[in-house]
């Protein structure tokens, strides 16, 4: 009798974004003329930069010619891309090209990474948080059941709210795996090196490993804000970093990301021996993954060409200007607004006593704007709301106008 993985049954019914889609579809059916502006899911809207498009065409042509055709590539990614990543994103950080594992996206990696860890680990996440960290731990059997507020037993939830200025406090108890994401999804906030240093020191003291999600690093505009955990001394002994081409190069539908696993990072076996996390991840990827499509890797590498860098900088600037317009518009209405300076997300307090979903329904009904309820990211997100700056300028300006009428 084929037994299923019972832990899946603990998962709450709806993943956040399908639930948003369901409500929007229902509203659209009832109001077919409504001009919906979607600022919910953090999906880019602008086309791929020309340098990337051109490189992908070239790679497709290589695949059309016997002499330049590529079959199976290295599971870890081609050297041309691994080298470009290190040279451009990790210069001076003591990261080697063979510590870069190219993948088809950061979401996959941040889920799959649990394959190499055991089941007795105590897991810490911030709250609110990117739901994939939680759900993949539920699936892996690292949690108990969810309580009424949606919190799973066995996880340590670290609140990040306006009360602590969105700075996650190092726990007073030991944990084994820690998920951190900066610039943060969903709050759009960042922390300084001093905060990350505390976490690195904590991890070192507790033999813990930090899973650092830096998918939004390209949006950092302030010089003193770290873009990588590996800017912090000691991080090479305690951290894995996830990065993506999705939000900077516009790869949400093109698919490419990577994970950085320093060779100095060690985990512990059940008999107490230290073992290389890099070797485990390499074995995992070699066995369960077959590398990223060649034309996509060529496109990703073009993000680091002179033209590619210039075009990506323009894209980032475009989205950050959107975020600034949203922030300014909301602030002019007396709203409490966070994020949007070093991140493409604006995080706001819902007005009055409205719940996150209450505000969602109200906003959708009265302004036809779609955002993301903060409570969908965890119970500490209740009373907050996320707006994504990934949109056309015209839509952002129109959204600000509608918000002004809504709050007038």
Q: Please list every residue from 389 through 408 that binds a second copy, using CB under 8 A.
A: 392
Q: Applying CB under 8 A, does 334 fall inside the site for a second copy?
A: no
Nearer to a second copy, 286 or 321 (CB): 286
Among 30, 64, 91, 394, binds a second copy (CB under 8 A): 64
Q: Applying CB under 8 A, does 343 fall inside the site for a second copy?
A: no
The interface mask with a second copy, positions 234-253, x = CB under 8 A, is ----------------x-xx
Near a second copy in 82-121, by CB under 8 A: 104-105, 107-108, 111-112, 115-121
Near a second copy in 161-220, by CB under 8 A: 174, 176-177, 206-209
CB of residue 12 vs a second copy: minimum separation in angstroms?
11
Distance of CA 203 to the CA centre of its chain: 21
The two structure tokens encoding residue 208: 């813990």
Q: Applying CB under 8 A, does 127 fall inside the site for a second copy?
A: no
Distance of alpha carbon 35 from alpha carbon 292, whole angstroms: 38
Burial of 22 (0-12, 13-18, 19+ CB in 10 A): exposed
Instruction: List CB contacts of 208: < 8 A, sequence separation 6 or more.
Output: 174, 175, 176, 177, 178, 202, 238
CB of residue 47 vs a second copy: minimum separation in angstroms?
5
Nearer to a second copy, 284 or 404 (CB): 284
CB of residue 276 vs a second copy: minimum separation in angstroms?
9
The two structure tokens encoding residue 5: 């993985």
- Say whether the peptide bond before residue 186 is cis (omega within 30 degrees of 0): yes
Q: Applying CB under 8 A, does 275 fall inside the site for a second copy?
A: yes
The DSSP annotation for 227-277 comes to S-GGGSTTGGGTEEEEEESTTTS--TTT--EEEE--TT-EEE-TTS-EEEH
Residue of 321, 342, 61 lying closest to 222 (CA atoms): 342
Nearer to a second copy, 121 or 368 (CB): 121
Q: Map 282-297 to HEC letters.
A: HHHHHHHCCCCCHHHH
Among 10, 23, 27, 53, binds a second copy (CB under 8 A): 53
Among 20, 84, 296, 325, binds a second copy (CB under 8 A): 296
Q: Applying CB under 8 A, does 41 fall inside the site for a second copy?
A: yes
Distance of alpha carbon 42 from alpha carbon 402, whole angstroms: 20
CB of residue 257 vs a second copy: minimum separation in angstroms?
9
Q: Applying CB under 8 A, does 365 fall inside the site for a second copy?
A: no
């Amino acid at each position: 009798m084929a037994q299923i993985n019972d832990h899946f049954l603990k998962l709450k019914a709806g993943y956040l974004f399908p639930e948003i889609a369901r409500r929007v579809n229902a509203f659209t059916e009832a109001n077919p003329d409504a001009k919906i502006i979607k600022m919910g899911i953090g999906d880019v809207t602008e086309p791929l930069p020309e340098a990337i498009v051109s490189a992908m065409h070239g790679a497709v042509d290589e695949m059309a010619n016997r002499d330049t055709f590529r079959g199976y590539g290295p599971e870890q990614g081609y050297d041309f891309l691994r080298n470009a990543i290190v040279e451009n994103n990790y210069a001076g950080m003591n990261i080697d090209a063979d510590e870069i594992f190219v993948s088809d996206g950061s979401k996959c990696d941040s889920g799959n990474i649990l394959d190499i860890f055991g089941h007795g680990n105590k897991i810490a996440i911030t709250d609110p948080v990117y739901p994939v960290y939680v759900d993949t731990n539920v699936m892996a059997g690292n949690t108990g059941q969810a309580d009424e507020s949606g919190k799973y037993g066995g996880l340590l939830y670290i609140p990040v709210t306006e009360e602590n200025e969105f700075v996650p406090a190092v726990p007073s108890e030991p944990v084994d795996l820690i998920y951190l994401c900066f610039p943060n999804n969903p709050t759009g906030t960042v922390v300084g090196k001093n905060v990350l240093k505390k976490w690195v020191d904590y991890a070192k003291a507790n033999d813990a490993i930090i899973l650092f999600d830096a998918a939004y690093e390209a949006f950092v505009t302030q010089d003193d804000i770290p873009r990588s955990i590996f800017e912090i001394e000691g991080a090479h002994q305690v951290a894995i970093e996830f990065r993506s081409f999705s939000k900077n190069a516009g790869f949400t539908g093109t698919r490419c990301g990577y994970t950085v696993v320093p060779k100095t990072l060690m985990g512990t076996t059940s008999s107490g021996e230290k073992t290389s996390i890099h070797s485990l991840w390499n074995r995992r990827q070699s066995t369960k993954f077959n590398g990223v499509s060649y034309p996509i890797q060529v496109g990703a590498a073009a993000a680091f060409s002179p033209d590619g860098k210039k075009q990506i900088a323009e894209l980032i600037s475009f989205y950050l200007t959107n975020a600034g317009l949203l922030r300014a518009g909301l602030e002019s209405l007396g709203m409490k607004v966070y994020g949007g300076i070093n991140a493409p997300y604006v995080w706001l307090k819902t007005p009055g006593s409205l719940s996150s979903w209450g505000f969602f329904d109200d906003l959708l009904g009265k302004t036809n704007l779609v955002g993301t309820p903060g409570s969908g990211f965890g119970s500490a997100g209740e009373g907050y709301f996320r707006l994504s700056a990934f949109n056309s300028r015209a839509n952002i300006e129109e959204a600000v106008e509608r918000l002004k009428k809504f709050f007038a």
